[in-house]
């Protein structure tokens, strides 16, 4: 999806993480700093005016840091995506620094200069951050996944809740002076399980091992090429070798360990795929954990993504892995393209069955190797209960539900039991097929799922279903396209439940739906009744929100 640019949005220095992004997947506001001079001076030359002038308003030449410059920084808060919002000592210039945490004093090196802020990498800590804890994972300092493991969970929740509040005010244009504001903004729902909560992990095979400097020095000249793990931050061709991951299930860690112990054996003839030469066999190892419907015990799917179909090469690994009791499925997705995707053009079952099952809100879902499913099953139960409460179905089977971006139908199917009919729309054909299969599996006949791109709807959209009483919208990170916003404002369904995985684009879309778009002569017609942040992924910067809007 294509993100919509924000219009005329300015944030004060109290929320300097509202930044203009180049990426289409993240939208925020540009910064405006009152301490900047009206015109930025040439940063490549000495500031002669400052050195020779008695003008008390002139800033020192070091006020605008240069690329490569090392500075003492103090981190004040966390930005969206988990970067630390830091101030340069003595000047107050704002610098975004990865892995900097609130209260931490550090030395950082400037890596990029923007119009009115800079980005830096952390070199060393002078004094530790507030709410400091020891990260239990040995890879926490290097892996890009769990950036805030060394921040107490309570502090993580506070930072996420603050981010949502600031975005709703500065991007969504909802006033915190409104007496109803703090009754609308609900406190964040924590996740009871902070480790081993992910039911899906994808690891990459690599021909180049990435090592942090200190590990490289410890290993001396010893060369390590092949790796199986996670991509090093900022590198598509280098992999941090990982022996275990504290986010996935313990049986999944057993499988990872078994593969790590065996795949480098020269006698097996296995080679990692090289993204530069496009030579090699093993691309990815995907591990998915579900539950047996009858026993409730974990069951595991192992999916090898390879560049060609040579099952004989995988036989020794299949034999080792299949001895682990929880493993009930071993799949082989064959991806012959030069791209890095884990979805193959062909899929083969090497052991056991082709799907695993999971239970959510009393329903059974079949999960194939490439199915989309909520990554944190435990917290998805909490999330879906909140969605169901916001939907406010009467339960008499009289209401129509329109489920936009329905994926494999998990939300719509949990509501179908209390609705007259659910109509779901999703762009991915495989997801629509999974949704239909899951409806049949659960004996649900009042749900219709349609494949279609909600970015490309026209004036005929809406003719194929009756006017809904409730709209569920669960877009991906870029949020909703303006065409869909216009459709919803014209449709005027009594209630919209907006489920968001990106609070920045969520705030923007809430602004459109409630306040309209003045320059496009679009009038908003909804009132925000509640906004509930949910922590789906502890130790990461990701935030989910469930929003209820009612027709005003």
pLDDT, tens digit, for every residue of 207-241? 888 877 655 445 544 446 799 999 887 778 889 99
What pLDDT is attached to residue 402?
Answer: 98
Angle at CA 304, nearest 5°, toward 318 and 410? 115
545 catalytic, yes or no? Answer: no
Rounded Cα distance between 27 and 38, Å, is 26
State the pTM of this model.
0.83
DSSP strand pairing (544-551 vs 105-113): unpaired
474 known ligand binder = yes
Exposed, middle or buried: residue 225 (CB in 10 Å: 0-12, 13-18, 19+)?
A: exposed
Regarding predicted confidence, which is higher, 524 or 225? 524
Residue-level pLDDT at 80: 65
**What's the confidence (pLDDT) of residue 4?**
35
CA angle 499, 494, 428 (to 5 degrees): 40
Report in angstroms the alpha-carbon separations of 492 from 395, 399, 465, 505, 529.
22, 15, 14, 21, 16
CATH topology of domain 376-551: Rossmann fold (3.40.50)
- Better-predicted residue by pLDDT, 534 or 62: 534
Give all strands (DSSP E) within 457-525, no chain letters: 470-473, 495-500
Q: Encode pLDDT of 162-176 as tens digits.
A: 999 999 999 999 999
The CA distance from 134 to 482, in Å, is: 45
Q: How confident is the model at residue 334 (pLDDT cuts 50, 70, 90)?
A: very high
For tokens 């200190």, the residue is: 214
In our burial notation (b when 16+ CB lie closer than 10 A, e otherwise), range 64-101 reads bbeeeeebebbbbbbbbbbbbbbbbeeeebbbbbbbbb
d(CA 94, CA 84): 10
Sole residue written with tokens 């649900």: 444
Give the CB-side neighbour count of residue 269, counting CA atoms within 13 A.
Answer: 6
DSSP lists the bridge partners of residue 289 as 300
Q: Is 161 annotated as a binding residue?
A: no
* Beta-sheet strand order (sheet of 200-206): 239-241, 227-231, 200-206, 282-291, 298-306, 327-334, 346-352
Predicted confidence (pLDDT) per residue in 409-422, tens digit: 999 999 999 999 99
Return d(Cα 523, Cα 518) in angstroms, integer. 7
**Residue 317, pLDDT score:** 97
Taking alpha carbons only, the member of 419, 345, 350, 406 closest to residue 373 is 406
Mean of all residue pLDDT scores within the chain: 85
Length of the chain: 552
Q: Is 134 annotated as a binding residue?
A: no
Banded pLDDT at 48 (limits 50, 70, 90): very low
Confidence label for 36 from pLDDT (cuts 50, 70 and 90): very low
What number does CATH give the domain 200-360? Answer: 2.40.50.1070
pLDDT at 457: 94
For tokens 């017609």, the residue is: 525
Q: Around 253, how many Cα atoms within 13 Å sit in the side-chain half-sphere? A: 13
Alpha-carbon span 468 to 112, nearest angstrom = 48
Rounded average pLDDT over 274-280 = 91
Q: Please say whether the beta carbons of 69 and 91 come within 8 A.
A: no
Q: Which of 170, 3, 159, 173 is nearest to 77 (CA)?
A: 159
CB atoms under 10 Å from CB of 19, counted, come to 23
Class of domain 5-130: mainly beta
Give the whole-angstrom CA distance, residue 148 versus residue 142. Answer: 12
- Phi, psi (deg, nearest 5) at residue 225: -100, -65
Longest dimension (CA), the chain: 82
* Cα dihedral value 378, 379, 381, 384, nearest 10: -160
Q: What integer pLDDT is reported at residue 50 of this predicted model?
A: 36
Say whether 426 counts as a known binding-site residue. yes
In the chain, CATH 3.40.50.150 covers 376-551
Non-local (6+) Cβ contacts of 195 within 8 A are 136, 246, 247, 538
Intervals of CATH 2.40.50.1070 along the chain: 200-360
Is 169 within 8 Å of 176 (Cβ atoms)? yes
pLDDT tens, residue by residue, 57-75? 444 444 778 899 998 999 9
Mean pLDDT of 101-114: 90
Q: Where in the chain is the domain with CATH 2.40.50.140?
A: 5-130
Asked if pLDDT for residue 360 goes beyond 50, the answer is yes
Which residue in the list 501, 506, 525, 547 is annotated as catalytic?
Answer: 501
Share of the chain above pLDDT 90, in %: 66
């Amino acid at each position: 999806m294509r993100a919509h640019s924000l219009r005329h949005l300015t944030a004060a220095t109290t929320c300097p993480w509202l930044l203009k992004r180049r990426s289409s997947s993240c939208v925020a506001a540009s910064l405006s700093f009152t301490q900047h001079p009206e015109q930025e001076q040439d940063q490549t030359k000495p500031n002669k005016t400052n050195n020779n002038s008695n003008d008390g308003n002139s800033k020192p030449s070091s006020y605008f840091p240069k690329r490569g410059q090392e500075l003492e920084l103090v981190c004040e808060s966390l930005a969206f995506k988990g970067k630390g919002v830091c101030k340069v000592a003595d000047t107050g210039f704002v610098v975004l620094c990865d892995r900097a945490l609130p209260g931490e004093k550090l030395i950082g090196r400037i890596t990029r200069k923007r119009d009115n802020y800079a980005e830096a990498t952390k070199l060393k800590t002078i004094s530790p951050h507030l709410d400091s804890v020891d990260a239990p994972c040995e890879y926490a300092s290097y892996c890009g996944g769990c950036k805030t493991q060394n921040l107490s969970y309570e502090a993580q929740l506070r930072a996420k809740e603050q981010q949502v509040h600031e975005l709703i005010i500065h991007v969504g244009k909802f006033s915190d002076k409104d007496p109803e504001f703090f009754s609308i903004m609900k406190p964040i729902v924590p996740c009871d399980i902070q480790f081993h909560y992910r039911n899906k992990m994808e690891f990459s095979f690599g021909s180049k091992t990435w090592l942090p400097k200190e590990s490289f020095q410890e290993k001396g000249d010893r060369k390590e090429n092949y790796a199986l793990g996670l991509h090093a931050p900022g590198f598509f061709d280098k992999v941090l070798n990982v022996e275990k991951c504290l986010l996935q299930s313990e049986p999944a860690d057993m499988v990872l360990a078994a593969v790590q112990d065996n795949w480098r054996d020269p006698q097996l003839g296995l080679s990692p795929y090289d993204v530069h030469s496009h030579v090699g066999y093993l691309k990815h190892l995907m591990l998915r954990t579900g539950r047996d419907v009858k026993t409730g015990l974990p069951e595991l799917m192992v999916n090898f993504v390879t560049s060609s179909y040579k099952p004989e090469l995988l036989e020794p690994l299949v034999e080792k892995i299949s001895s682990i009791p929880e493993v009930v499925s071993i799949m082989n997705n064959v991806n012959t393209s030069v791209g890095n995707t884990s979805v193959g053009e062909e899929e083969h079952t090497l052991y056991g069955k082709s799907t695993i099952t999971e239970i959510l809100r009393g329903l059974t879902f079949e999960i194939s190797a490439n199915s989309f499913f909520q990554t944190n099953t435990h917290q998805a139960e909490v999330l879906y209960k909140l969605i169901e409460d916001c939907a406010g179905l009467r339960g008499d089977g009289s209401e129509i539900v329109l489920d936009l971006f329905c994926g494999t139908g998990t939300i719509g199917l949990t509501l179908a039991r209390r609705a007259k009919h659910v109509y779901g729309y999703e762009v991915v054909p495989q997801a629509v097929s999974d949704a239909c299969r899951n409806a049949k599996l659960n004996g649900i006949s009042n749900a219709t799922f349609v494949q279609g791109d909600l970015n490309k709807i026209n004036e005929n959209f809406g003719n194929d279903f009756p006017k809904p009483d409730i709209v569920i919208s669960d877009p991906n990170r870029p949020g909703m396209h303006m065409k869909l916003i216009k459709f919803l404002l014209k449709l005027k369904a009594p209630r919209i439940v907006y489920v968001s995985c990106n609070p920045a684009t969520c705030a923007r879309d809430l602004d459109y739906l409630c306040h309209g778009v003045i320059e496009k002569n679009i009038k908003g017609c909804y009132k925000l009744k509640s906004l509930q942040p949910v922590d789906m992924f502890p130790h990461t910067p990701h935030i989910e929100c469930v929003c209820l809007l009612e027709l005003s």
